[in-house]
Copies of this chain bind each other. A is one copy, B any other.
């Protein structure tokens, strides 16, 4: 085992230039900073204001300042912002883990609302921000921006940041809000893909109903194709692991196969120009419903925590990087000439983001409430405020979009582009810090009893189910309540069925849910495995120990 090569290269390059060793230095610093973020985040755990994202962002900013001072104002960041790094390596584990650990029941109960928020909401937000930008920015002297630029600004600031949402909202404390805001973020993606394709491919000067219809069809195709791809990949992994009975030989193969197939679903979606985020999200849901039950107990514990850890590291990485990148001196050069305009642009953008979000959250919530009868199932105005507030954060996706639109082909030197880049950074930083810091206190202020709120939200979503058209993958009452974290019910797969059937038949809920359950029990689970249909693995599931293992915080 010779390691001469790397040292050889380092030595060689050190004679020529210091670039290679410099990148080793950067990587060291970055990994050390990640460790620091974890330790400090742990120490601040009890703090009601801070969360991990803001800690990482602050550490990133502080490091940026130090580097700026050390390098004599030349550079503030260690790594070049790479869209590939973000979209190919950091985002997939985060979204997959969200799907893997999501409370399936909550998610599918609010499916229609989530779709409305994600699709219609994004469109409303995009339109308002684009029109607002056209209206206000033209009055300011910020250089030449064409129609495409304004639309891009709309798309940039309409892109919500699911990663922040995951950090700020707690799935256990506020399940309804979490599933609405996060689910919306996932659907937001499909909308955005259609939106951008539309901007590029359709003739925007002649908008008629044919184009609107095509647009709508495009969205439906993208949504269903992406979901289907995710589901198929997930089911395939379940089938392979069940049939080939991997646990017999090796836990590692099971874990590796789950990881690789999850990643494959994302890359396949990219291959077919679908929405990778939607695909990998649904792949995570299917894997947690079938595949996860087919593997050995060690693999269950390992996948649960390994996916969560990967997601956690990727999140920390993103925030650390965004904090560090914000101080890149080159971007601020133009702005220093006219700080007033930059502040104005940032403020206007932030204002438009808030107006754009308010313009769909409150009307759609009103419509949602309008369709419901009892008072308890409605989304209160306080909850609406939190939904509005928690989705205001803009993050790495907005940054990536702004970079893509305003820095390509040497356009960075243009005044308008430079101002737009710095404004995006300002909006991302300020929204993450302000909304990130204030969301926890706001929830405590508006919904003082999280326990009480938990129960009311469950009620409201419970009764919301007759409105839902589709409730796929919804398990038994116990199952969906407990999900991955606490699956006491594994052994009642056989025992519990009669009572479940009785319950369903007694209750007036001949919804999709009932048929799905029937289909799931009679066809899907026997074929793809899942709870109650797990092949016997020697020395495996003793419920007691799994509960012990999984009850610690995820």
Residues of A within 8 A of B (CB): 1-11, 21, 24-25, 27-28, 31-32, 34-35, 38-39, 41-43, 45, 83, 87-88, 95, 155, 158-163, 185-186, 188-189, 192-193, 195-197, 200, 240, 244, 246-247, 249-253, 255-257, 259-261, 263-264, 267-268, 270-271, 273, 275-277, 296-299, 301-302, 304-306, 308-309, 312-313, 316, 397-398, 400-401, 404, 539-540, 542, 544-545, 548-554
Contacts and interface: CB of A to CB of B under 8 A. Distances in A.
Given A305-B302, A309-B256, A196 B4 contact: yes
Residue of A31, A158, A163 with most chain B CB atoms under a 10 A cut-off: A31
A428 to B, nearest CB: 13
6 contacts: A5-B400, A31-B267, A35-B261, A297-B549, A301-B301, A542-B545
A165 B540 CA distance: 31
Contacts of A193: 2-4, 7
Contacts of A253: 38, 41-42, 312
B42 A3 contact: no
Contact of A24 (B24, B38, B270, B299): B270
A189 B250 contact: no
Nearest to A257: B38
Contacts of A273: 7, 10-11
Given A3-B193, A24-B271, A252-B305, A260 B31 contact: yes
Contacts of A11: 197, 200, 273
A251 B553 contact: yes
A232 to B, nearest CB: 14
Contacts of A25: 271
Ranked 3 nearest A-B pairs via Cβ? A545-B545, A2-B159, A2-B192
Contacts of A3: 87, 189, 192-193, 275-277, 397
Given A1-B397, A7-B193, A35-B261, 6 more contacts: A5-B87, A11-B200, A34-B256, A247-B552, A251-B553, A260-B313
Contacts of A298: 301, 305, 549-550, 552
A27 B92 CA distance: 14
A332 B552 CA distance: 57
A539 B545 contact: no
Contacts of A267: 24, 27-28, 31
